[in-house]
Amino acid sequence: MASSSSRSRAAVVGAGPVGCLAALSLANRGFDVDVYERRSDPRPPPQAHASSSSSSNNDTQLAEKSAPTKPIDRSINLAISARGLKALSAVQHSDSQGENLAEVLLRHAVPMRARMIHTKGDGKAGGAGPSSNSQAYSTAGEHINSVSRSLLNTLLVEAAAAHPKVSLHFDCKLRAIDLEAKEHVGEKEAQGQCSLSFDSFEGKEEKSTRWADLVVGCDGINSIVRNTLARLVPLNFHQEYIDSEYIELRIPPAQAPTQDPSSSASSSSSSSRTDIEYALDPHHLHIWPRQTFMLIALANLDHSFTSTLFAPNSILSTLTTREAVLRFFRQEFPDALPLFGEEELVEMVLRRGGKGARLSSIKCDPYHYGGRAVILGDAAHAMLPFYGQGLNCGFEDVGVFAELLDQHGVRGDHPSSSVGLASALSQYTRDRHADLVAIVDLAADNYRVMSSSVVDPLYLLRKQLDSLLMTWLPKGWWSSLYSMVTFSPDVGYARAMQREEWQQRLLQRVIVGGGAAVVGATVGLGWVWRRGGLERFTTPFVRRGSAL
């Protein structure tokens, strides 16, 4: 860190949700923070550069100003769960009367307590038609939260802009980063440890150089910061595309006719007015699984649903005419077609020209360079969206990073603590790598679960067995993989995978060894435990077993 300044400067590359949360975490630890973003300011023009006079007014208007008014081509709705909320709760929103960011966000989210699985029936005349069934996420009432990406990003940009130690810079085209600039230009010329060179800065077509002591890369899957690391250290990198692509769609609010209170009882029906309501139950994540492709829908606050079609290019490439689009949806999603409206659906699909957005994941290692740079979020571990953990994991990255800064005594307003920064970043790579590899793999595998397994009898049987064991056994003895990943932020992703593998092996042994009697005895012991009879004898075992 620069010894000539009383406060160290951090450069955060990327003003997405992870970048803004990282900026706030660093500013709260005494750093002066510059956030650089190539895109324009996402806030509506009246707010983009104006200070807020009323936090409550901002909060009530945020959902309206950030709500999408048309389909978004490259933005799957976000499902925020326990890991993301834990990281957000560690940061106060300075304009929201002492609330933390998680509390502010939840006011603008729609809780989803279960999956709703929509099947199309056998398609035969007089046969079974489309049906649906609900699959609860948790036996304890836990839920995930649907939130618009644009709304969340606006919330975090506004929170960062309100912090006195954070400066936001939009429309900045970053060309190169020199993480050894101080050594290259000399002690007298350097204004920090690292330099960032821009071809354009804040929309002005002129070259600019900025300095920082720490560079935090939150610049997504095509990260410039990660590419810079790769030129300085042996960086293992793997990117994998899947055959499926996606098209973003929108289910509009439904019209709910209601009687106008001002009209008399004898008035004709023409005097009624129309309100809006959700076209589907908003508290479910809706899935239409079709083996190799699927449709999903998540609720928005404006009573619409953000819907996404995931399918191989061999299918999407055929959806280039009105007839082809309607034929495909009538055959595969007959109950969903009326929700979109035929003409609206055709317009949304044809806009893509038979091409969906590509989906890929990346893994890399290490995530840092000395005490000068670290990459977080998609820059380090872009994953497929099928576990709903991409942003949750990115927020968790920030939380882990901030905790390590605290453990190593690193603060921006104490430049002498710079000796601990390299150790903190090195430990971040060591501690985080196994978890990040695990969740990237889990997200890829969950596509199979969502598109086909959710209607597979064996999967449903295992899900019911998990629920039974979680209900009757002592807390901590058994937990489904989904519950550990989504609702247990203190259980690392890698630990969750290991425990699930152990549970699978145990069930296989139970089944091979005459399972029904063993399961019955186990549940019976759980019942006795719940009555308090075995606690003094088995507590030591539970403490050991809970580490599995």
Q: Hey, what domains does the chain have and what are their CATH numbers?
A: 9-43+73-113+142-239+361-453 (3.50.50.60), 458-527 (no CATH)
pLDDT value of residue 545? 34
More confident residue, 533 or 318: 318
pLDDT value of residue 407? 96
pLDDT tens figures, 13-39:
999 999 999 999 999 999 999 999 999
- Average pLDDT taken over every residue of the chain: 85
Position 140 confidence tier, pLDDT thresholds 50, 70, 90:
confident
pLDDT above 80 (res 54): no
More confident residue, 298 or 416: 298
Average pLDDT for 43-64: 50
pLDDT above 90 (res 52): no
pLDDT above 70 (res 488): yes
Average pLDDT for 481-506: 95
Position 179 confidence tier, pLDDT thresholds 50, 70, 90:
very high
Percent of the chain past pLDDT 70, that is, above it, reads 81
Is residue 399 within 8 A of residue 84, CB to CB? The reply is: no
pLDDT above 50 (res 425): yes
Encode burial over 299-333: b for 16+ CB neighbours within 10 A, e otherwise: bbbebbbbbbbbbeeebbeebeeeeebbebbeebb
Burial of 262: CB neighbours in 10 Å, binned 0-12, 13-18, 19+:
exposed
Average pLDDT for 510-538: 55
Is residue 217 within 8 A of residue 14, CB to CB? The reply is: yes
Q: What is the dihedral of CA 14, 15, 21, 25, to 10 degrees?
A: 70
More confident residue, 530 or 88: 88
pLDDT value of residue 152? 94
pLDDT value of residue 55? 38
Side chain identity, residue 374: V
Using CA atoms, how far residue 461 sits from 467, 472, 481, in Å, is: 10, 17, 15
pLDDT above 70 (res 486): yes
pLDDT value of residue 472? 87
End-to-end CA distance of the chain: 41
Position 463 confidence tier, pLDDT thresholds 50, 70, 90:
confident
pLDDT value of residue 414? 85
φ/ψ region of 409 (left if φ > 0, alpha if ψ in -120 to 50, else beta) reads left
3-state secondary structure of 447: helix
3-state secondary structure of 300: coil
Retrieve residue 193's tokens.
């440890």
Instruction: Write the secondary structure of 68-133 as one string of H (helix), E (strand) and C (coil).
Output: CCCCCCCCCCEEECHHHHHHHHCCECCCCCCCEHHHHHHCCCEEECEEEEEECCCCCCCCCCCEEE
pLDDT value of residue 115? 95
* Closest-CA residue to 396 (of 498, 494, 492): 492
pLDDT value of residue 170? 98
Using CA atoms, how far residue 205 sits from 143, 167, 224, 304, in Å, is: 47, 20, 20, 40
Position 464 confidence tier, pLDDT thresholds 50, 70, 90:
confident
Which of 74-78, 530-534, 541-545 is least confident?
541-545
- Per DSSP bridges, beta strands 236-251 and 305-312 are antiparallel
For residue 254, give the H/E element and its range: strand 254-258
pLDDT above 50 (res 441): yes
pLDDT tens figures, 393-415:
999 999 999 999 999 999 999 87
pLDDT above 90 (res 219): yes
